[in-house]
Amino acid sequence: MKSGNLSDAAEFLLLGLSDDPELQPLLFCLFLSLYLVTVLGNLLIIVAIISDSRLHTPMYFFLSNLSLVDICFTSTTVPKMLLNIQTQSRAISYTGCLTQVCFVLTFAGLENGILIMMAYDRFVAICHPLRYNIIMNPRLCGLLVLLAFLISVLDALLHTLMALRLSFCTDLRILHFFCELAHILKLACSNIFINNVLVYLVTSLLGVVPLSGIIFSYTRIVSSILKIPTAGGKYKAFSTCGSHLIVVSLFYGTGFGVYLSSAATHSSRKSAIVSVIYTVVTPMMNPFIYSLRNKDMIGALSKLISRISSFH
């Protein structure tokens, strides 16, 4: 099989979720609907938080950033898939593919960082309530988001630049609906040992370590909640953490599920189908999880919708 540097040339082929031509219109309608719900739902969360002064707190500051990241995360993959289905083309340029890899890694890393910030916020609120306003000040919250962004960008650039040095075989078919780093590495004809070491090392540092921090935080949180004397106090404390725990479970559960399934099976197509939950369904579910389980969010969204209705 021939190999070569693709920087000046060819295109990768995104084979998507199915080869069946009859399924393409159904997939287009399904993913367009999911994408629109994701964008509109997360935009509503952001606008509701900005417009309601009662929600100008660290918890909702992180939530609005999470919603923005979810919009960007989904927008790096789904529009290209929809365009390919509509134009009946599977091509994505070499530059476009590596750019997509970079953005996917950036927003996945940023979502990971924001989730651990939200866990820390709940830890301080419940375990150190008297010092909450001092510790979780606006300057610290802004710096934490900026730090997560810088780490995510550096991580994404590291993997993308390492991928630039690879030579690829003539078979450039990707059994996926977007360019995922693991699938790109499988197509390489050159040695990918260093790339794989970096993937496992960074996944351990930026995946396992934050997850361990979240688990530690919630262990302390549960311990503190159990010491609250009244049932009403316990319920209120648990309710503020419940939404975040569901989102964390969805994000990490589906994320690890993708990589475990890809390691356990030789079918990249099955891995692609599992990835839909991680990259599309989870960002779509976040607004529903936070709005339906949160009275403050329901109130803010009701006010926002009534304001919008009054203009008409």
Task: Determine the 3-state secondary structure of 261 from DSSP.
Answer: helix
Choose among 22, 33, 10: nearest CA to 281.
Answer: 33
Mean pLDDT by 10 residues, the chain (312 residues): 50 88 93 96 92 91 95 96 92 93 95 92 91 95 96 96 88 89 88 90 84 88 84 73 81 70 57 80 86 77 80 64
Count of Cβ atoms closer than 10 Å to residue 72 Cβ: 16
pLDDT of residue 41: 92
Q: How far apart are CA 308 and CA 312, in angstroms?
A: 7
pLDDT score for 20: 87
* Cβ-proximal residues to 117 (8 Å cutoff; 6+ apart), any chain: 62, 141, 144, 145, 148
pLDDT at residue 7 in the model: 47
What local confidence, expressed as pLDDT, does residue 8 receive?
Answer: 43
**Cβ pair 114, 66 in contact under 8 A:** yes
CB neighbour list of residue 264: distance below 8 Å, 6 or more residues apart: none
| 99 and 64 Cβ atoms separated by less than 8 Å | no
What one-letter code names the amino acid at 57?
A: T
- Contacts of residues 287-294 at CB distance under 8 Å and 24 or more positions apart, as own/partner, are 287/41, 287/42, 287/44, 287/45, 287/67, 288/41, 289/243, 289/246, 289/247, 289/250, 290/45, 290/63, 290/243, 290/247, 291/44, 291/45, 293/239, 293/242, 293/243, 293/246, 294/243
Q: Give per-residue pLDDT as tens, 198-220.
A: 988 888 888 888 888 888 998 99
Please give the pLDDT value at position 257: 65
Residues 299 and 51: their CA atoms lie apart, in Å, by 12
The dihedral sign for the CA sequence 209, 136, 254, 266: negative
pTM of the model: 0.89
3 state DSSP class of 76: coil
- Looking at domain 3-311, its CATH class is mainly alpha
Phi, then psi, of 189 in degrees rounded to 5: -95, -20
One-letter amino acid of 150: L
Q: Yes or no: say if 4 and 168 are a contact pair by the CB < 8 Å rule.
A: yes
pLDDT tens digit sequence for 96-126: 999 999 999 999 999 999 999 999 999 999 8
Would you list the DSSP string of 192-216? -HHHHHHHHHHHIIIIIHHHHHHHH
